[in-house]
Structure 1
Amino acid sequence: MIRREAGFSLVELLIAAALALMLLLLMLTTFTALNQSSTQTRQLAQLQQNGQLVLNLLHNELKNTGFWGGLPQQQLAEAATLPLPAGDCVAEGLDSGSFPMSGQSFLTLYAARATGGRQLGCLNNLIRDTEFLQLKRSIGLIVAPDEMRANRFYWQADWQQGRFVAVDAAQLNAGMLFPYQHLVFYLQQQNQNGQTIPVLMRKRLVRNAAGAASISTDSIIDGVERLHFEFMIDSDLDGRPNFSLASHQMTVEHWLQQQSRIVGLQYHVLLRSLEPDHHYNNTQQYQLGSIQFEAPGDAYRRLQLSGAVYFENAVLAEQ
């Protein structure tokens, strides 16, 4: 009697191997799809979060533009002032810098397109063809003399005149004190963990430990790839915008605000994911106001956002 050994035949083993391979492929496909979906969800959430941070930042910094404690902007040229900081951010031929200087114009708002070279006297290695924004303002929050900080400068205004002061030069009971800011926002590439990341940067006026004015540099928000600004112009001085101009369309006369006024600003932001997704190819076109940006067919997701601010303080101060 012939005894048969227990086990699987070659055909059965081949079938089992084929089924196992099919199951493995199905699991790998599912895992890849889940991983791609997770990457997309994570990147979109990060873009939304960073985008909201940028919009909030620009709105908060711009909303008090034109506020000088109730005094008109033209009166700034007559204000008592302080020495300018070394390496100040200055629009060559247009602007005196952080503080007004006799015989020079004092721009409280200015923007220009990045050319790649040194600009504004304090900016280097900007991302080409994007824009930077410079603004000077007093924050609309009155502080008491004992609340003043040693590392800040202040605008002290009474009913007929104003002055720029530091904590040790404020005249008690000589007017209201408001924190003063001179800020520049711009974009620069940075290397982080082997990746080249576009970053929103900030230059700002500070008072150092020695009591002198200086310009500090901060990294603010990662992933900001493009900034574009369009200014609302009131050409008949009635407080309402008549037209808008992009940064590169603005003239010296517009910046000086002698024949017209800047009464608002539209800002357009394009954000880019911090890491590439090699399963994604971006060839989209993004309309940032009057300009267009075309993605170069890379593996980065992008998010386009915009906002606007009307400068009520600037208008009310002139009326």
Structure 2
Amino acid sequence: MTAMRNMGYRQGAFTLVEMMVAMLLGIMILLAVSEVFVNNNRTRIEIENTTRQIENGRYAMQLLEGELANTGFFGEWSGAVPPAVGSPTVTACLSSEDDVRKAVNVPVFGGGALTAGSTDCMTGFKAGNDYLAVRRTSTCAVGDAECDGFESGRYHLQVSACEDDDPGEILLQVASVVADMDATQRDCTSQAPVYRFLSRLYYVRDDNVLMRAELGAGAYVSTPLVDGIERLHFEYGIDSAGADGEVDKFVSEPTAAQWANVVAIRIWLLARNLEPTPGYTDDRSYTMGNEAAYTPADGFKRQLYTSTVRLNNVAGRRESPVVAGAAGAEEPSAQTPSAPAI
């Protein structure tokens, strides 16, 4: 029994100093692991924010490029010069059938300041940005497979191919009631294809969202498209020298007479992260065309995207004009506008 008591005494327990050292080492290891976890989590969040910003910027640019690729497409009409439908409509929002007819002469229109009536179709417009109005028809005819049907109250466009018709009167048939669509094909009997007329405006809302306002049945309907789009700017390529479809100069504010001659558009789009980055300050200056440099000086990371888009349906018609009245000259066939389906 004495031996057993001596053995238990020799085993003993941890001293207070040993326990404190062990606890300190454990805390240090825990702090190191926590620091690694926090840094990894912060890095993951930053990567997600940057990836989302890149995706938003690229997607917004693709939307604009795809829309401009179809701008100026008006169904079977493939004339070398705009039809005689009156003076061009140089306005953002279309509100009548007469506006729609005249808008054919101005497939694109834009600006940096809202005019009277523009607030009706671009709610929440963010000051300091540009908007872009595009006019075209759907790339498929009403009744085709996977194409929207005729919608009463919306504007539609129909082109007459009958040689007996007077092009000055019914080259373009615009109506919002299907019974009024009476233009015919080359046989002068069969109904000509009917296309839905599209009037769309792209702009940045005051909460940094790319918006699209589209003319519906009697009013414009706004749809949010992409988050994190902070600034938007356009410049317009004017074909003024020989009406050959080539850009002679780029301007930021075309005159009323120049809008019908826009054949290309430069786009500047500034996308930013949805959340600020701790400890980061964006002190870079972003230059978009001839606008004053923009220096945000805040904690959001940004990326500037730019692209130049040719308006194929506008410029293409100018490349092969119809030769009329030239003795001995061969009359080339009219060029059909391109319309990649989107």
Percent identical: 23
Indicate the residue corresponding to 1:180 in structure 2: 197
1:77 aligns to 2:85 (yes or no): yes
1:26 aligns to 2:59 (yes or no): no
1:140 aligns to 2:139 (yes or no): yes
TM-superposed deviation, 1:133: 0.9
1:206 aligns to 2:220 (yes or no): no
Question: Partners in 2 of 1:102 and 1:181 — Cα distance?
Answer: 9
Change (3 A) 1:168 1:205: farther
Task: String of CA shifts for 1:95-150, please: whole Å, max 9, x gaps.
Answer: 865643599776432111147x9762423432121111111112333344896331
Question: Partners in 2 of 1:121 and 1:244 — Cα distance?
Answer: 27
Indicate the residue corresponding to 1:309 in structure 2: 309
User: Per residue, is there more strand in 1 or in 2?
Assistant: 1
- SS at the partner of 2:181? coil
Question: Partners in 1 of 2:291 and 2:221 — Cα distance?
Answer: 31
Task: String of CA shifts for 1:218-269, please: whole Å, max 9, x gaps.
Answer: 11211111111111111212211111112xx3222322x3xxx111111111
Change (3 A) 1:76 1:282: farther
- Tell me the TM-score normalized by structure 1: 0.78
Indicate the residue corresponding to 2:280 in structure 1: 280
Task: Decide which of 253, 261, 269 is 2:257's aligned counterpart.
Answer: 253
TM-superposed deviation, 1:164: 1.1
Change (3 A) 1:220 1:107: same
Indicate the residue corresponding to 1:230 in structure 2: 235
Indicate the residue corresponding to 1:108 in structure 2: 107
Question: Partners in 2 of 1:72 and 1:99 — Cα distance?
Answer: 23
Indicate the residue corresponding to 1:158 in structure 2: 160
- SS at the partner of 1:7? coil
- SS at the partner of 2:219? strand
Question: Partners in 1 of 2:62 and 2:202 — Cα distance?
Answer: 14
Aligned residues: 289
Indicate the residue corresponding to 1:193 in structure 2: none
- Tell me the TM-score normalized by structure 2: 0.73
- SS at the partner of 2:125? coil
Question: Partners in 1 of 2:102 and 2:156 — Cα distance?
Answer: 21
Question: Partners in 1 of 2:174 and 2:100 — Cα distance?
Answer: 14
Task: String of CA shifts for 1:136-170, please: whole Å, max 9, x gaps.
Answer: 11233334489633154321112431111233432
Aligned-CA RMSD value? 3.2
Contact 1:76-1:100 within 8 A present in 2 as well: no
Question: Partners in 1 of 2:130 and 2:100 — Cα distance?
Answer: 29
Contact 2:238-2:248 within 8 A present in 1 as well: yes
Contact 2:97-2:175 within 8 A present in 1 as well: no
Change (3 A) 1:73 1:10: farther
- SS at the partner of 1:36? helix
Larger radius of gyration: 2
- SS at the partner of 2:70? coil
Question: Partners in 2 of 1:24 and 1:279 — Cα distance?
Answer: 25
- Alignment of structure 1 residues 34-45 onto 2, 5 Å: 34-45=40-51
Question: Partners in 1 of 2:317 and 2:33 — Cα distance?
Answer: 67
Which consecutive residues of structure 1, in runs of 5 or more, have no partner in the other structure? Answer: 80-88, 190-196, 208-212
- SS at the partner of 1:274? coil
Contact 2:245-2:314 within 8 A present in 1 as well: no
- Alignment of structure 1 residues 266-277 onto 2, 5 Å: 266-277=266-277
- SS at the partner of 1:77? coil
Change (3 A) 1:17 1:55: same
Contact 1:268-1:304 within 8 A present in 2 as well: yes
Question: Partners in 2 of 1:311 and 1:72 — Cα distance?
Answer: 15
Q: Which moved more, 1:231-240 or 1:1-10?
A: 1-10
